[in-house]
Amino acid sequence: MRKPLMAGNWKMNKTVPEAINVVKSLKSAVASVSGVEILICPAFTALYAVSDEIKGSNISLGAQNLFWEAKGAFTGEISLEMLKDAGCSYVIIGHSERRQHFGETDETVNKKTKAALAAGIIPVVCVGETLKEREDNVTFKVIEKQVRVGLSGISPQQASLAVIAYEPVWAIGTGKTATPDQAQEVHSFVRKIYEQMYKESAEKVRILYGGSVNPNNVSDLMKKTDIDGGLVGGASLEAESFAKLVEYSK
């Protein structure tokens, strides 16, 4: 049985006081939730303070990026030891915004994924096609390469722990969600590829859907067999809407 995971990606939003404000409200709003794992991924600057605030709660902490080297002359980068020290147990890797604006490739995604798993931090590896790729009918080809390269070379046990997020680029921050059927089609394809790579780990890996998920569309998405949770941007920024998402089944 895969435990659903609802993850909030706050992107480049919120100062420390703003982050703490949201977390205080979220903590009490979701205090009784146990059937869904709850994850928030604030900006680097807010990680330590948020980690302190969520101690003893049912909310986990993740970062939005990492660098794979352990330390040294890498100005501006953040290591896994630093993320662990700040209280992170998850890290988002290869978000389409990082691919688009910061030169992230399937190869760098793979280096980061391997480094995160070796350090005991769970990677949330993002894959997804652009609108042009969907229109050109190359969605499956693109996704297959992203999964095969991005998640290659890990152990079966690590393969079970990793999380994959399918985020069609055309659905991120646009208000245009993939239909539950469109999402399910890709999720089941991802699980098939994963099965070829890592056999029974495919049944354990959680595959999240991301792209304009909100409290109104979450239940229909979550009814699909291969959708194990959500990676949520906009609707995770306020405690009220994120709490509603977390309680999708109620």
* Catalytic residue (choose from 95, 97, 104, 129): 95
* Nearest distance from C-beta of residue 237 to ligand PEP, angstroms: 9
* Nearest distance from C-beta of residue 175 to ligand PEP, angstroms: 8
Q: Is 101 a catalytic residue?
A: no
Which CB atom, from 192 or from 241, has the smaller least distance to ligand PEP? 241
Residue nearest to ligand PEP (CB): 233
Q: How many CA atoms lie within 13 A of 164 on its CB side?
A: 34
Spell 36-66 as b/e; 16+ CB within 10 A means b: bbbbbbbbbebbbbbbebbeeeebbbbbbbb
CA dihedral over 156, 158, 161, 163, signed as positive or negative: negative
Which CB atom, from 50 or from 171, has the smaller least distance to ligand PEP? 171
As beta bridge partners, residue 227 has: none
* Nearest distance from C-beta of residue 126 to ligand PEP, angstroms: 7
Q: Which of residues 122-181 bind ligand PEP (CB under 6 A)?
A: 167, 172-173
The label of the residue with tokens 């040294």 reads 72
Which CB atom, from 99 or from 201, has the smaller least distance to ligand PEP? 99
Query: Active-site positions?
Result: 95, 167
